[in-house]
Structure 1
Amino acid sequence: MFELSEDHEMFRGVVRDFAESEIAPHSAQWDRERHFPVDLIPKMGELGLFGLTAPEEFGGAEGDFLSMCVAIEEIGRVDQSIGITLSAGVGLGISPVLVFGSDEQKQQWMPDLVAGRSLAAFGLTEPGAGSDAGATRTRARLEGDEWVINGSKSFITNSGTPITSLVTITARTGEMPDGSPEISTLLVPAGTPGLTVDPPYDKLGWHASDTHGLTLHNCRIPAGNIVGERGAGLRQFLHLLDHGRVAISALALGLARACLDLGTDYARTREAFGRPIGANQGVAFPLADLAVSVEAARALTYRAAWLKDECDAGRRPARELTRAAAIAKVYSTEAAVDAARTATQILGGNGFMEEFPAARYYRDAKILEIGEGTSEVQRMVIARELGLPR
């Protein structure tokens, strides 16, 4: 089944040591200064984190997706911003090229992405197209041997770093026979004339994560920069989305674990009325409930990750992953938000102070219920998988 092997646990230990030595000591400062630690990315590449699921020919480890989720969980436990940098760098950066790209595209882009020498982003969301990805307004028209792209993208992770090399975007390239938009996926190299990286967002959380809007004005790319078949953009996106939802579930699991550890340690040492506050049921019971949530989130996340590997191997139908990914994401992300609230409450006034990590956990948690499909969208998916009418 989906239990972690001895190799998985050994790998967890390696990633945990890296996270605690290279990331944790700096997390508060990076968050406070809204600093994207670009020098950390090659170190993560050297550890093999960006190439966990990539083929050996590109420098990858050809590992399973469960290992990827273990890594995201452990990184996310100490810093959610770095966790989403890894998650998006692989799931939304590498995967479109790896899964759907041509051999030429893979040879061009994969080695540097896998090594952590560069990052890629995925431009799907627009000001008027989020959950409704089919409402994409960005357009690309074929002129001779070039695509000419006009439009804008919003909330794009890893899109404006000094080492961003590539943005994969969805764009309307025509009309389908039934009159619906033909949406295709295109590779836009960083620095292409007409591609403008907008100023960074002033975000509630994920302060050390790189997030920008993108503007494309008469942006020209070679006709060969289309990814896969013309008109396959939405199908490609939906395929990758299941993977991304499991990865966000792993990120949420890491945050919930951090909140449980913080609240438990504080409850053991903070005294009131002559005894540790953890001796009071009003503190102990919420932590017990949080421990239950962490275990449930872990089971759902790991099972969904295992199912992804099973589906990739052809041993399970893809529909099983769609349902499991939605269930894992909606449960784990809402558990993380509850965990952040619980930890903040247990720390009392200290939980409201930025010098304690509870405040950062609280700010970082909310986006987990929104990115890669909102909680409402997950419930829609689950309801459809139950066979309920649309």
Structure 2
Amino acid sequence: MRFRHPDGTAVHLGYCSNVHQAEDLDGVLAQLADHAEPVREHLGVDRLGIGLWLARPVVTELAADEGALERLKDELRLRGLETVTLNAFPYAGFHREVVKKDVYLPDWADEARLTYTLDCARVLAALLPDDADRGSVSTLPLAWRTPWPATRADEARRALDRLTDGLAVIEARTGRRIRVGFEPEPGCVVETTAQAVRQLGGLDPDRLGVCLDACHLAVQFEEPAEALRRLADAGLPVVKLQASCAVEATDPADPAARAALRRLAEPRFLHQTRAATDGGVLAVDDLPDALDGALPADAGPWRVHFHAPLHTAPEAPLRGTADQLAQVLAGLLGGPSALCDHIEVETYTWSVLPEPPAGLSAGIAAELAWARARLTGLGLKEDPS
């Protein structure tokens, strides 16, 4: 879906396809028919944005085979879909039985990460609608925090310089500008906006910036207005917003809250958990460890990196952080100028919910309807053109 900000900026809203399992081109094409088109139909719109996650084997095929790329473009057009952004954070294997910290590999000190990201940018340049101003690719925030010696940090910084040069070459050859956004995430080298400023400051703002994930921001107990101001003051653009919600236990000592949290402690994804205390934020890398005593039950509230559906509350007495997401949207789009033009609903955890929905497409459509209502409430107008 497209919206028009009062300043005239076209703002794109879609959802991320990493919620669907597909690591070959046939699988990607099937998910457009089986899921994305039904989401569009549920919403009653003629055109729906989809932020594609294309695993390394798919990107390799698309980058090398123009016929394969045309198949994907034709399928998007046939289904009433458009793509202005790719999620290049997961490299491959995102729906294995156990993912956990493997999602951070390869990191930005590894040549494979640079190659994959530039291939994603080339593919996206070919997929962009003719009238789109630019495209965006989101990626991991350099690496998981350990091990991260100075030698690897230096290698990563050199890779970012090469990334900037590669994006400039793509723009010169295609006429399409692609920006890459680094996504702060709990537990990583860059987990907060303050660390983003320290680690990513000074990069070319025309090509590199931040992908702001509202769930991650909430887990770190960052205040949205302060975080956005910090990024703006440092000249770090918000290339893309991932519209997502965390899970909060206001009283983590409550047996009912602990029972509900235990039902979220599943084995596939990493669920970093944080507690807000007078002395700061206490951190544990995964929810099962927090529940087993690594995080004090009397320290609270707890927030958990579990992407909860935007439009509905988690199991009581847990709550979601939709109010923080609404503040992020207001900070980016509620002022006289649009400070972000790509918004991607990214709830990839539907399949690991304690009670997965029978109708995934209807659930994703409900999330997008929630986001649409917030955008129009901020004065944006839906653009059917």
TM-score class, shorter-chain normalisation, is under 0.3
Q: Normalising by the residue count of structure 1, what TM-score does the alignment of the two structures yield?
A: 0.25
Structure that is richer in helix per residue? 1
The structure whose RCO (Cα within 8 Å, separation 6+) is larger is 2
Q: Normalising by the residue count of structure 2, what TM-score does the alignment of the two structures yield?
A: 0.25
